[in-house]
Amino acid sequence: MEQIFIKTDRLILRRFNENDINSFYVYRSNPDVAKFQSWQDYQYEEAQAFVEGQMYHHPNIQGSWFQFAVALAETNELIGDCALHTPAIEPRIVEIGFTLSPNFQGNGFATEAVHGLLKFIFQTLGKHKVTAFSDVRNKKSIAVLERVGMRREAHLLQNYYTKGKWVDEYQYSILKSEWERK
Ligand SMILES: CC(C)(COP(=O)(O)OP(=O)(O)OC[C@H]1O[C@@H](n2cnc3c(N)ncnc32)[C@H](O)[C@@H]1OP(=O)(O)O)[C@@H](O)C(=O)NCCC(=O)NCCS
């Protein structure tokens, strides 16, 4: 089996593999999943190139994004993904993102995956601060960020140009010291 980075009660966060391409394509190309994301009309070839690019990539490389495959611990079925951006200039402050297949939403899986990801980032990688950006209209994403204990730190007006218009975003953050107190 491929490398597992994080285990939670019901999930594993592992490296992507070729068997994930179809499931990844199916949820990424779903318009509901893409609504507040940068992509639209996502193609199978893009999913293939993306997964193949991640298969040999490593988390915590400065100046890059790593995508963890989120899978059910019992069956290893792909249900979503979590992203980790380690900036080149200040790698002690990282950014995260997350997506779940609509078939698996509403079960607390995103919250559980992000809890596990925060533990990995603070305990294993020893980072100082984690941030995430969400479109202000993305209520489900905001709910996940608040459930995992991240703090709304900024309201950024017209901060992101996507699908032909500027959108407002919230920045959510949590410091290592805050995470340790929880
Ligand atoms: C953002 C996203 C991952 C949230 O998914 P989600 O399924 O709503 O979030 P969770 O997995 O944490 O599940 C929470 C829901 O499950 C319910 N739930 C059931 N069992 C639960 C449990 N054991 N623990 C926590 N919540 C549970 C909660 O009550 C909540 O339901 P509600 O939305 O009706 O209040 C999903 O909407 C998505 O992939 N969106 C598209 C991509 C995107 O926009 N990503 C964010 C950009 S960073």
User: What's the pLDDT score for residue 179?
Assistant: 97
* Virtual torsion, Cα 149, 8, 72, 46, nearest 10 deg: 60
Which CATH architecture describes the domain 4-181?
3-Layer(aba) Sandwich (3.40)
Distance from C-alpha of 137 to C-alpha of 169, rounded to nearest angstrom: 8
27 lines ligand 1 (CB under 6 A): no
Helix (H) or strand (E) holding 1: none
Where does residue 45 rank: exposed (0-12), middle (13-18), buried (19+ CB within 10 A)?
Answer: exposed
Cα 89 to averaged position of ligand 1 atoms, centre (Å): 32
Tens-level pLDDT at each residue, the chain (182 residues): 578 999 999 999 999 999 999 999 999 999 999 999 989 999 999 999 999 999 999 999 999 999 999 999 999 999 999 999 999 999 999 999 999 999 999 999 999 999 999 999 999 999 999 999 999 999 999 999 999 999 999 999 999 999 999 999 999 999 999 999 98
- Residue nearest atom 34 of ligand 1, based on CA coordinates: 106
User: What's the pLDDT score for residue 65?
Assistant: 98
Where does residue 72 rank: exposed (0-12), middle (13-18), buried (19+ CB within 10 A)?
Answer: middle
What are the residue boundaries of the structural domains of the chain, listed by start? 4-181
Cα 134 to averaged position of ligand 1 atoms, centre (Å): 14
107 lines ligand 1 (CB under 6 A): yes
105 lines ligand 1 (CB under 6 A): yes
User: What's the pLDDT score for residue 141?
Assistant: 98
Q: Which of 84, 141, 160 to probe ligand 1 with, by most ligand atoms within 8 A of CB?
A: 141
41 dihedral zone (left: phi>0; alpha: psi -120 to 50; beta): left
Where does residue 139 rank: exposed (0-12), middle (13-18), buried (19+ CB within 10 A)?
Answer: exposed
